[in-house]
Chain A
Amino acid sequence: MRKVSWTLRIVTLLSLVIILGPIAIVVLVSFSPSDFFAFPPRGLSLRWFHEFFRIPSMRAAYLLSLEVALTASVLAAVLGTLAALFLARRRGAVVGLLNALFLSPLVFPTIIIGVALLLFFRRVGMPILPGLILAHALIGTPYCIRLVLTSLQAFDVSLEEAGQSLGASPVRTFFLITLPSIRPGLLSGWLFAFIVSFGELNTALFLTGPGVTTLPIEIFAYLQFQGSQLVIAAASTLQICLVIILVVTIERLVGLSSMVR
């Protein structure tokens, strides 16, 4: 029995190494002072971070990613909350169908969503930036729905009924009673949609265009056409930092574990 539990521990440790190792290496490499990776590193430097902000296309991509993630996540949070409020209240075949529809982008091959939206946007003449934002909002909405639904499960609907029977309009009831109780789920859903949009590849691959590129796509293009330069490691480290800040915030708000139930 002891032997078994030691084997389990070793496998767990090795898994963590192969999962986190590549990310750790990227962060380590980004502080390298030399042109290429050296091991052991010869000191630390912020050279590649300066370099990152000196390259206009990188800087623009970082800002655009922030802009897209911010707008798309707000849109996703609004749509997700509306859908979750509905799904939590009603039962039946139609509701089950809607539930499946709203959550399907989670498992649906996103590359197909990317191609479909590309063709559709071309047909209707959608400009690049709004198209990108709409696609990212679509990918982010299911996460918001799930997190708001988790909050709603702990919510007592009779509180709402009490509010309405005391003469409050549905809108007033929502802002005074429902919204405060689902706030943790809503906030973490919003942050999660932000993170998802900030790292999104499969739809952005098709929906970005000349001059309108998100950071992951810029990194991808750089890796393909300029080779692996350490400025990419700096760009990656900047993204990882942002993710860490947001993850800690979500953990404080609701506890990350509620995300996976």
Chain B
Amino acid sequence: MEWLLRFIRTRWAWALVLPPLLFFLAFFVGPLLYLFFVSLHDVSQAEMYGTRLTMENYVRIAGDPFYHFIIRRTLTAGLAVSGLSLLIGYPVALSMVRMSPSRRSLLLMVLLFPLMVSNVIRAYGWIAILGRRGVVNKVLGDVGLIQAPLPLMYSLETVVVGLLTILLPYMIICLLNALLTVDRNLEEAAQALGAGPARTFLHVTLPLSTPGIASGLLLVFLLTLSAYVTVQLLGGAQSKMLVSLVYDSVMTFVWPRAAALAFVLLAISLAITTLMLKGIRPQRVQGKG
């Protein structure tokens, strides 16, 4: 009888998960496998892809200096954005940990709100500030400091600044979550044993917050990789990234190349994930490894 009850309950649970599972298989796993399949075919004018199975899409990307250049630029931008957001986000998270809970959750709400505003609007905000007729040029021109508008847009630096401000809240939230779990007694113990604030921070707080550092860096880096609209609006044609090449290939209907580029992007995300987890070893904090 007990066995029967358990069996019904088990089957019931599997019936629950069936719709979402089928949905994910049909519209997530399946399309990704199909994309990989397309990336292994030659380019065709008439069809979505040719009939010949080939690695040449990947071979071309691996051998072409232009793609190398774009990939290096993508990695540089990703590292700059994630590194800077860590540098700026850490002090913010530290000061949030020391706040009263009610002030902290108010600030958290203020940080979450921008994440829900579409990135195209947040990029447009930077155009309104830095563009030819933007706030900076307008104010400087009115004051008489400049004769012609400064070219502040369409550079890699603008893209980095834009992405930094767009993604910074993610970093702060990841760091805050990690710092909130750090036992204050450990810091007090270090200080009682004679360590100064700097030493306590370097040897206790910072190592204990590595899970937050790792997840923040990863999240920001991965989101940088697919931020096509921000890159396009703030960087223009001169600052194309890997994601821009994926988009361009799709818009010119070169499907197999678009598919191959998408998988190169995915391989880079996986490589970065592995490297960061190996380098920072966040699992140390939980006593695993």
- A: residues with CB less than 8 A from B are 1, 4-5, 7-9, 11-12, 15-16, 18-26, 29, 36-39, 78-80, 82-83, 85-87, 89-90, 98, 101-102, 104-105, 107, 109-113, 115-120, 122-123, 134-135, 137-138, 141, 170, 195-196, 198-202, 205-206, 215-217, 219-220, 223-224, 228, 232-233, 236, 239-240, 243-244, 246-247, 251, 255-257, 259-261
Contact = CB atoms under 8 A, between A and B. Distances in A.
Given A18-B168, A37-B138, A39-B142, A4 B19 contact: no
B111 A19 contact: yes
B280 interface: no
B76 interface: no
Given A21-B129, A89-B13, A109-B226, A116 B89 contact: no
Interface residues of B, number: 86
A100 to B, nearest CB: 11
What are the 4 A-B residue pairs with the smallest beta carbon separation, nearest first? Answer: A22-B125, A199-B118, A120-B31, A8-B95
A116 B120 CA distance: 22
Contacts of A107: 218-219, 222
Contacts of A215: 118
Contact of A255 (B24, B35, B105, B218): B105
Contact of B109 (A117, A236, A256): A256
Contact of A112 (B32, B91, B134): B32
Nearest to A205: B228
Nearest to A237: B121
A29 B128 CA distance: 8
Contacts of B165: 18-19, 21-22
Nearest to A220: B120
Given A22-B125, A113-B32, A259-B112, 18 more contacts: A7-B91, A15-B89, A18-B165, A22-B165, A25-B128, A37-B138, A82-B19, A107-B222, A135-B27, A198-B118, A205-B228, A216-B119, A236-B121, A239-B121, A243-B116, A247-B109, A255-B105, A261-B177
A23 to B, nearest CB: 6
Nearest to A109: B226
